[in-house]
Structures are given as C-alpha cells and as structure tokens.
A and B are shown apart, each in its own frame.
Chain A
Amino acid sequence: MTWVVGVCGVLLTIALVLAVIRAEKGPSILDRTVALDIVVTTMIAAVALYAAVERRADVVPVLVVLSLVGFVGSVTVARFASVEPEGEGRVRTREEVAAEDRARREAEEGGGTDEHGGPAEGEVR
C-alpha cells in the first residue's frame, strides 16, 4: 500500500501543479475556472486517498461537502463572465409581460403559420 500512496501522491501533485500553471496563464477567466475545477477535483481525490490509507471513515463527510460546494465557484464566475442576449437577464415589467401574452394569444388565434406548435392543417376548430 505504501508505494501506491507514493505514486498516487506524486501523480496528484503533478496534476495540481499543471492545473495551477494553467490557472495562472489564463488567458481568459473561464480557462482559469476550468483549471480551478480540476484543482478541486484533485483535492477530493487527495482527501479520499488519505482516508483510504489511514482507513479513516470520519473524513468522508469532507468529501460530501467538497463535491457539493466545488461547483459553486465555476457557476458564479461563468454567470458573471457571460454576455446575455438583450432582455434575457432582467425581470420584465408587468406591461411587457402583458404585451407578450397578447402577442402570443393573437399568434395562436390567427393564422397558425408558426413552425412549432401550430394547429394541424385542415384541423376543425
């Protein structure tokens, strides 16, 4: 078991260093995020390796927490790094919602030339 731990530790350390180098180099914030995701995953693997070597079952909750929390960082960064199409990211006012509803209702009642969800041709209403 000892040499297995040694080899695994070396592999994980190299992976960690390479990911940190990528996080330092960038070039964009999303590349850094992906690299830091790998750092978190490597940390989970390292904690699991420690628990396996020492046969410590009390470390397992740490793994649960890490796997739950690990994705929050990249989701947050991606949320703020992305450009949204106009009008998608804000809460619409009451008038705009009403106008959209009206437009949709009119489209449903008249014509039905819409490609998706329109009534079948020759349908009796």
Chain B
Amino acid sequence: MSWETVADVVSAICLLGGAFLALAAGVGVLRFPDLLSRMHAGTKPQVLGLVLVLIGLALRLRSGGAVWALVLVAIFQMLTAPVAAHMVGRAGYRTGKVRRDLLVVDELTNDLDRVREDDEA
C-alpha cells in the first residue's frame, strides 16, 4: 500500500464527513423550531465541514501552492462566519425572533431588564 493510496482514502473520508455535515445542516435548518437553533445547525458545515472538505481536497491535490490557498480559505471563513452570525443573531434578538421558552438561560434579557430598572430608579 503506497503513500498515495493512504492519502486518497483519508481524503475520501474527509470529503464524506464534510458532505455529511452539510446534510446535517440542511436537515437541521429545515426541522429546528426557531432562528437561534437554525443558526446553530447552520454553523456546522461553515467551519468544521469546510475544514474537513478542504483537508480532503488538500490530500488530493498534494501541491504546495494550492494547499496554502486552501489554508487561506479556511482562515477567511473563520473570520467572516462569526461576523455574519453575530449580525444575524443580534438582528433576530432585537426583532423578537428569540423564543424564550426554548432557552435554558437568557442572560442578555435579564441584564437588559436590570439596566432598565436601574435607569428608572
């Protein structure tokens, strides 16, 4: 068994894992009840799934320059995905898309209530 075969097998496993995470996100975003849980499902392929797919691709390409570009893709995705998630989450909270009955703790609402009481007092 040569080095290339092993790399191909590992790459296939990584690609399958990434595609499976994408499928999990699709199922989750369709079936989960509110915005925050849908976001939770959606972030799985955005970072872990993408990194798995990129590792799979890097093991197939096996050339220096392309692999560095793939590292760049992973870094860009890790920089931009939290920005988008933060904006969407904040917009959802402010427009009342967060269902409090589904949350275990909701520290933000409690803190905001306390600040409002302090302001009134």
Contacts and interface: CB of A to CB of B under 8 A. Distances in A.
B105 interface: no
Interface residues of B, number: 50
Given A33-B88, A75-B84, A49 B29 contact: no
A21 B84 CA distance: 21
Query: Interface on chain A toward B: helix, strand, loop, or mixed SS?
Result: helix
A79 B87 contact: yes
Contacts of B53: 44-45, 48-49
Nearest to B56: A52
Contacts of A28: 35, 92, 95, 97
B54 A48 contact: yes
B29 A68 contact: no
A77 B27 CA distance: 23
Nearest to B46: A41
B interface secondary structure, majority: helix
Contacts of B83: 71, 75
Interface of B: 8, 11-12, 15-16, 18-20, 22-23, 25-27, 29-30, 35, 38-39, 42, 45-46, 49-50, 53-54, 56-57, 60-61, 63, 65-66, 69-70, 72-73, 76-77, 80-81, 83-84, 87-88, 90-92, 94-95, 97
Given A11-B22, A28-B97, A48-B53, 7 more contacts: A7-B16, A19-B25, A22-B29, A34-B42, A55-B61, A60-B70, A78-B91
Interface of A: 1, 4, 7-9, 11-12, 14-19, 21-22, 28, 30-31, 33-35, 37-38, 41-42, 44-45, 48-49, 51-53, 55, 57, 60-61, 63-64, 67-68, 70-71, 74-75, 77-79, 81-84
